[in-house]
Amino acid sequence: MGWLWAIIVGFILGLIAKAVIPGKQHSPLWLTTIFGILGAIAGNAIARALGVAETRGIDWSRHIFQLVAAIVIVAVGDMLYLKTVGHRRQRQRM
């Protein structure tokens, strides 16, 4: 059941990150979900390293770390995706 929650949280974080980042993102939805999952993992690791332990109720600080990490990963991942796909499309046109 943990993998299902990881996909759901990654999907939601990826969509929020895409909405926050200015401009158009070109990465497909499945890749955005993977970026969101990676953001959730990185955000949890950063929160744990900074001493933010699980608390009773909603861990807002941990979720903020997850969202910020997802925004960074989606932005960087989209730039790399665009760079890779852009080169392929230019080669196909030639």
Residues 6+ apart with CB under 8 A from 71: 17, 20, 21, 39
More confident residue, 9 or 87: 9
pLDDT tops 90 at residue 83:
no
User: 22: phi > 0 → left, psi -120 to 50 → alpha, else beta; which?
Assistant: beta
Structural domain including 31 reads: 2-93
pLDDT in tens, 14-64: 999 999 999 888 889 999 999 999 999 999 899 889 888 666 777 888 889
Residue 47 contacts residue 61 (beta carbons within 8 Å):
yes
Evaluate if residue 87 carries a pLDDT over 80: no
CB 15 within 8 A of CB 42: no
Structural domain tally of the chain?
A: 1
Which pLDDT score is estimated for 41? 92
* 46 or 89, which is more confident: 46
